[in-house]
Amino acid sequence: MRLWKMNGAGNAFAIIDGRTQPFRPDADTLREIATAFAADQVMAIEPDPHADVFLRIWNADGSEVSACGNGTRAVADVLLTESGQQKVRIRTAADTLTGTRTGDRLVTVDMGRPRLGWQDIPLSEKMDVRGIDVRIGPLDNPYLSRPAVVSMGNPHAVFLVDDVDRYDIPAIGPLVEWHPAFPEGTNVGFAQILDRRTIRLRVWERGAGLTRACGTGACAALVCAARAGKTDRTARLILDGGELTIHWDAETDHVLMTGPVELEQVVDL
């Protein structure tokens, strides 16, 4: 069984080839793999009758999740390199995504439509997803409040902030991640609008903590910023580990994510 250690814009993955031998780990094994390979997510490539592969995804804490944008780009790179083709279809628990080679070690993934209904995210009750009633700090004077929320196959709460470096994200992230408003937890983005086509972003990932990049988080930040009228529908997202370009297509309503991938290590288990 082969394992690829990869990263997408600094977002680190341990990707296991389960196409010929099933990979059915328990939570302890997943945590051990994540620790050994310093991975934010562990993923398994599996056969699928309806797409080129099925991608199963676990966070570093061993919890299974439905989507990982940068991880999907990394797996697309593996499959495109193997096949020599320009396009691959990858099914996840959230959706079937298309990955395309767009340059030297650059991959674009069509992430589909953002889900904007409160039930789709999901929230615990009906709220305006452009700014929900979540506050951090004193109730009468919170220093963070009313994040926009969206699902990109996984839930995201996005705070639009003036200066992302002012916030103690490892302290704030867990408070929002399991806030009662989010029955399944949430990823938490801190997005600073630099101009209409540039966003500085840091993300506390559900089940993984503060990561160097988050692909679905970048998509969520662009969607929330564009809906608020703060940016155009295409922007460069500057993350701790690298940069992504996110385009929210006005005609198809699909979000396209483009960025670099890097193969760090190949291990035969």
Active-site option among 39, 68, 78, 88: 68
> 69 and 140: one domain?
no
**Active site includes 214?**
yes
Whole-number Å distance between alpha carbons of 245 and 109: 11
CATH number at 55 reads: 3.10.310.10
> 102 and 10: one domain?
yes
- In tens, the pLDDT along 155-197 reads 999 999 999 999 999 999 999 999 999 999 999 999 999 999 9
Q: What are the distances in angstroms from CA 45 to CA 15, 71, 79, 123, 245?
A: 7, 11, 10, 30, 25
- pLDDT given at position 140: 84
**Active site includes 68?**
yes
- In tens, the pLDDT along 113-143 reads 999 999 999 999 999 999 999 999 998 889 9
Four-residue CA torsion sign, 141, 144, 150, 156: negative
Section 21-25 average pLDDT:
94
Does residue 115 belong to any structural domain of this protein? no
Does residue 129 belong to any structural domain of this protein? no
> 224 and 167: one domain?
yes
Task: Work out the percent of the chain whose per-residue pLDDT is above 90.
Answer: 97
> 155 and 194: one domain?
yes
Confidence at 260, pLDDT banded by 50, 70, 90: very high
Does residue 123 belong to any structural domain of this protein? no
- pLDDT given at position 21: 93
Confidence at 61, pLDDT banded by 50, 70, 90: very high
> 139 and 102: one domain?
no
> 86 and 10: one domain?
yes
> 89 and 41: one domain?
yes
Confidence at 269, pLDDT banded by 50, 70, 90: confident
Number of domains in the chain: 2
Section 207-236 average pLDDT:
97
> 42 and 152: one domain?
no
Q: Which helix H or strand E contains 105, and what residues bound it?
A: none
Section 241-266 average pLDDT:
97
Does residue 127 belong to any structural domain of this protein? no
- pLDDT given at position 217: 98
Four-residue CA torsion sign, 108, 64, 156, 145: negative
Whole-number Å distance between alpha carbons of 203 and 220: 11
What range does the domain containing 205 cover? 135-253
> 171 and 243: one domain?
yes
Active-site option among 3, 76, 109, 214: 214
Query: Does 145 score more than 90 pLDDT?
Result: yes
